[in-house]
Structure 1
Amino acid sequence: MNAMSDQPSARLLLIAGAVVGGVVLIHLLQPILAPFLVGALLAYLGDPLVDRLEDRGLGRTTSVCLVFLGLTLLAVIALLIALPLLIDQFQLLSVRLQSLVQWLQGNVLPELKARLGDSASLSQAGQALGKNIGTAGDVIMRLWSRITGSSLAILGWISTLVLIPVVTFYLLRDWDILVAKIRDLLPRRIEGRASLIAKECDEILGAFIRGQLLVMTALAVIYTLGLWAVGLELALVLGLVAGLASIVPYMGFVVGIVAAVIAAWFQFQDIWVLVQVGVVFGVGQMLEGMVLTPLLVGDRIGLHPVAVIFALLAGGQLFGFVGVLLGLPAAAVIMVMLRHVHSSYLGSDFYGAVVESGQESDAPSTEDRTS
C-alpha cells in the first residue's frame, strides 16, 4: 500500500525536478539559445511546406532545399528593400521626435505652468523631458554605432546570423525523425495521451504562429501602403509597428492609429488628413476581422489576448528575447494541460458528489430538481 502511494509522489517529484532543472538550464544557456530557438521556429514554420512537397513525390532533402532557398530568397529581398528605407525612416523619426519635444517644451509645459503654477516638479519634468526624450530618436543610431564599433559584437552578430540558417536547415531536414524519436522515448502507458496533448498544442501553435504571422505581414503592408498614399513621411515605420503589434488582436489598430494620428498632425496639421488616417486603419481592421483572420488563422487558436500579452511579457521579463520566443509555446502547452485537467475534474467523482452531514452523496441532477 505504501509502495503504491509513494509511486505518484515520486512521479510528481520527478516532474517537478525536471521542470525546475529545465528553467535553470534555460537561464544558464540564455546567451546562446536565441539562434537555436529562431532556427527551430523557422523549421517549425517550414515543415508543412516540406511535407506537401514530399506528398508530391519529391525527396525530403530536395524538398528541404527548395523551401530553404525560398525562405532565404525572401529574407534577402526583404533586407535589400527594407533596410535602406528603415535607416532613412529612423533618421527622420529622430528629427520628428526632437521637434515633438521642442513643441512640448514650448507649448505644453508653459500652459501647465500657467494653470498649475511654476512649481519645482514641473521644472524638473521639463528638464527631464529635454534630457531623456529629446535624445530618444538617436538611441537606435547610437546602438548601431556601438555595435559596429566593437569587433567582438560584430563577430557575435555574424556568428548568430550564420548559425540560424544552419540550424534551420538541419532541423528542417530531420524534423519528422526527431518527432518520431521523441515519441518512441515516451513510456508506452502515457504515449497515447501525450501524443494527443502534443497534437492539440501543435494545432494551437500552428494556427496562431503561422496564421498570425501572415496576418501581421498583410496588415503591415496594408497600413504602410495606406499611410504612404495619405502622404505620411513615416509610413514604413508606422506600418511595421502596427503590423508587429497585431500579434495581439486590436493592439496593432490602437497603437498604429494613435502613433499615425500624432505623426500626421505634426506633419500636416490638417483634420482631413487625420480622417484619411482613420479610414486607412478602419479598412485594415475590417479586412483583419472579416477576411484575414478567418482565412489565415481560423477559430482554433484558443489563446485569449490577455494570455498572449502575459506570455510575451512574462517570458521577456524572465529570460529576455529567449523568453519571448518561448512564451507562446509555453502558454499553449499550459492551456492544453489545463483543458485536460478541467475535463478530468468534470468527469471525476469529486465534482459529481457533495458532502452532506459528513457523508458523500450524489448531487441531484437538473431533472431530479425539476421533478
Structure 2
Amino acid sequence: MNVGGAPAIDRRRVGWWLVAAGVAGIVGLFLYSFVGTFVLGLFVYYGARPVNRRIQRVVGSRGLSATVTLLFIVVPTLALLGYAGFVALRELTATLDSGTVTLLLNRLPGDQQTLAGVARNFPQFVQQLGDMSQFRQALQTAAGALGTLTTGLLHLTLALAFAFFLYRDGHRLQAWYRKTVGGRDTAAYSYLAGVDADLEVVYFGNVLTVLAVTLGSMAVYNGYNVLAPSAVELPFPTLLAVLTGLATFVPLVVGKLVYVPATALLAWRAVQADGSLLVYPAGFLVVVFLLLDILPQSVVRPYISGQTMHEGAVLFAYILGTALFGWYGLFLGPLLLVIVVQFANFVLEDLLWGRPFSPLPTDTTGLGTDPRGAKADTDAGADATDGGSNPDSSDAADEAEGEDEGKG
C-alpha cells in the first residue's frame, strides 16, 4: 500500500506545485502591469506610516487611523505637490527647448506632451474656447489633457487604496507570513523585518526630506519675489524649488547646486541695475543657506529617521532607477537596493558557505537596519495597537483558529 500510494501522493504534490506556479504567474502579471501603482502605494504607506501609528494610538482603530492619515495628511500633501509640479512644468516648458522637454516628458506616464502644451499656452488655450473656429482644436487638446489627468488619478487612487489596506490589514499579512513562512526567530522573518525597517528609513527619511525641502523652497523663493524689486527677482521660482528639493538627494552638496548659481544670477542682475540692490541677493543667500541647507541636513533628516543606508548607494538607486524604469523608478530603485542589501546581510554568506541560516545579520556589509531592533519596534507597536479596545487582533486570531479547525 505504501509503495503503491507514494507515486499518487507525489503526483498530487506536483500538480499542486503547477497550480502554485500558475497562481504566482497571475500575481506576477498583475504586479508587472501595475508596478508603478504598487511601488507608489508602498511609498505612500512607508512615507506616512510613523504618522499613522501615532494617530492609531490616539483613535484606537486601524480603519479610522488609515482614513485620517490618507485624507488629512497624504492627500493634501500630494495635492500641493501636484500643483507645484504643474507650475514647474509650465516654467520648464518656457525655459528649455522643445527637444529637451520632449526627452524629459517621455519618462512620465500618459500623454505629457498635450498636458505640457496646455500648461505652456494656458492663456491662449482659454482664448481659443471663445473662438468657434478654433473650438474643435481646443476641445481636442482639452480631451488629451483630461485623458492624461484621468490616467494619473486612476493610478493615484489605486495606490492610495493599496496603502489604506496595508495600514488597516498589514498586521494580518504579517501574522500570516510569521505563521506560514517563518517565526520571529527565523532568517526569513529577520530578512523581511530588515527590509521593512529600511524601506521606512529610505522612503520616510530621504524622500520626505526632499519633499520638505521642495515645499520650503517654494515658500522661500516665491516669498523673496514678493519682497524683492523686479530688477532682482528670481526667475522661475517654483521650478527652482523643485530642483532644489531634488538636489537634496546629492550628499553634502544638496541644494547648493541650485541656490548658489541662482544667487550669482541675482548678484549679476543687481550689479547691472544698481549696486545698492546687492543687499537682496545677500539676504537671499543667508536665508536659503540656513533654511534649505543647514536645517534639513542637521535637524530635519536626523529627526525624521536615522540613516542606515549608504548615501551614495541611495543616490545611485534613485538616479539609475528613474533612468531605467521611468517615473516609478524613483520609488522602485530604493526598494531594489534595500532587497539586495538585506539579502547580503542575512542570506548570502550562509548560502555561500553552506551554513545553517541564522536570524542574525552577518558582517558582509555594514549597511541596513539590524533586524533585532526592527523586530522589537514591530512587536512593541503591535502590543500597543492590538490590545484593549482594538478588536482587529482578536478577530484575526479567531479566523486563524477557525481555519486550523477546518484543515484538521
Report the TM range for the smaller structure's normalisation: 0.5 to 0.7
CA distance in 1 between partners of 2:220 and 2:256 (Å): 16
Could you say if the C-alpha distance between residues 163 and 214 of structure 1 is closer, same or farther in structure 2, counting changes exceeding 3 Å?
A: closer
The answer for the alignment partner of 1:320 in structure 2 is: 326
Question: Are 1:329 and 2:301 an aligned pair?
Answer: no
Find 1:225's aligned residue among 215, 219, 222: 219
Q: In the TM superposition, what is the alpha-carbon distance from 1:30 to its structure 2 partner?
A: 4.1
The answer for the alignment partner of 1:144 in structure 2 is: 116
Find 2:38's aligned residue among 29, 36, 39: 36
8 A Cα contact 2:38 2:159, kept in partner: yes
Q: In the TM superposition, what is the alpha-carbon distance from 1:176 to its structure 2 partner?
A: 1.2
Q: In the TM superposition, what is the alpha-carbon distance from 1:223 to its structure 2 partner?
A: 3.0
The answer for the alignment partner of 2:289 in structure 1 is: 282
Q: In the TM superposition, what is the alpha-carbon distance from 1:67 to its structure 2 partner?
A: 1.9
CA distance in 2 between partners of 1:148 and 1:216 (Å): 32
The answer for the alignment partner of 1:211 in structure 2 is: 205
> Which of 139-148 and 313-322 deviates more?
139-148
For the aligned residue pairs, the C-alpha RMSD in angstroms reads 4.2
Q: In the TM superposition, what is the alpha-carbon distance from 1:92 to its structure 2 partner?
A: 4.8
Q: In the TM superposition, what is the alpha-carbon distance from 1:341 to its structure 2 partner?
A: 6.0
CA distance in 2 between partners of 1:92 and 1:41 (Å): 27
Could you say if the C-alpha distance between residues 341 and 259 of structure 1 is closer, same or farther in structure 2, counting changes exceeding 3 Å?
A: farther
SS at match of 1:312: helix
Question: Are 1:202 and 2:196 an aligned pair?
Answer: yes
CA distance in 1 between partners of 2:36 and 2:236 (Å): 30
Deviations along 1:50-84, whole A, 9 cap, x unmatched? 433444461222222222222355247626xx72x
The answer for the alignment partner of 1:295 in structure 2 is: 303
Could you say if the C-alpha distance between residues 215 and 87 of structure 1 is closer, same or farther in structure 2, counting changes exceeding 3 Å?
A: closer
Give matches, 1:73-112, under 5 Å: 74-75=76-77, 78=80, 83=83, 87=86, 90-95=89-94, 97=95
CA distance in 2 between partners of 1:171 and 1:36 (Å): 11
The answer for the alignment partner of 1:170 in structure 2 is: 165
CA distance in 1 between partners of 2:348 and 2:237 (Å): 47
Find 2:180's aligned residue among 185, 190, 207: 185
Could you say if the C-alpha distance between residues 278 and 343 of structure 1 is closer, same or farther in structure 2, counting changes exceeding 3 Å?
A: farther
**Structure 1 letter corresponding to 2:345:** R
8 A Cα contact 1:93 1:137, kept in partner: no
SS at match of 1:321: coil
Could you say if the C-alpha distance between residues 317 and 244 of structure 1 is closer, same or farther in structure 2, counting changes exceeding 3 Å?
A: closer
8 A Cα contact 2:90 2:116, kept in partner: no
Q: In the TM superposition, what is the alpha-carbon distance from 1:331 to its structure 2 partner?
A: 0.9
8 A Cα contact 2:191 2:342, kept in partner: yes
CA distance in 2 between partners of 1:134 and 1:216 (Å): 23
Q: In the TM superposition, what is the alpha-carbon distance from 1:186 to its structure 2 partner?
A: 0.9
8 A Cα contact 1:204 1:332, kept in partner: yes
The answer for the alignment partner of 2:47 in structure 1 is: 45
The answer for the alignment partner of 2:132 in structure 1 is: none
> Which of 275-284 and 301-310 deviates more?
275-284
CA distance in 2 between partners of 1:186 and 1:159 (Å): 34
Question: Are 1:339 and 2:339 an aligned pair?
Answer: no
8 A Cα contact 1:315 1:324, kept in partner: yes
> Which of 130-139 and 60-69 deviates more?
130-139
- How many pairs are equivalent? 291
SS at match of 2:186: helix
TM-score, length-normalised on structure 1? Answer: 0.62
8 A Cα contact 1:148 1:154, kept in partner: no
The answer for the alignment partner of 1:252 in structure 2 is: 254
Higher relative contact order (CA 8 A, sep 6+): 2
**Structure 2 letter corresponding to 1:163:** L
8 A Cα contact 1:46 1:172, kept in partner: no
Deviations along 1:334-358, whole A, 9 cap, x unmatched? 222323468769x999xxxxxxxxx
**Structure 2 letter corresponding to 1:204:** D
Deviations along 1:252-307, whole A, 9 cap, x unmatched? 32432255246536765668355444334422322233222222222xx2322221
8 A Cα contact 1:47 1:175, kept in partner: no
The answer for the alignment partner of 1:63 in structure 2 is: 65
**Structure 2 letter corresponding to 1:290:** S
Could you say if the C-alpha distance between residues 211 and 145 of structure 1 is closer, same or farther in structure 2, counting changes exceeding 3 Å?
A: same
Could you say if the C-alpha distance between residues 177 and 294 of structure 1 is closer, same or farther in structure 2, counting changes exceeding 3 Å?
A: same
Q: Which ranges of structure 2 fall in alignment gaps of 5 or more residues?
A: 1-20, 107-111, 119-140, 226-233, 356-408
SS at match of 1:252: coil
Could you say if the C-alpha distance between residues 25 and 317 of structure 1 is closer, same or farther in structure 2, counting changes exceeding 3 Å?
A: farther
CA distance in 2 between partners of 1:339 and 1:255 (Å): 34
CA distance in 1 between partners of 2:99 and 2:79 (Å): 36
CA distance in 1 between partners of 2:142 and 2:271 (Å): 38
CA distance in 1 between partners of 2:248 and 2:198 (Å): 17
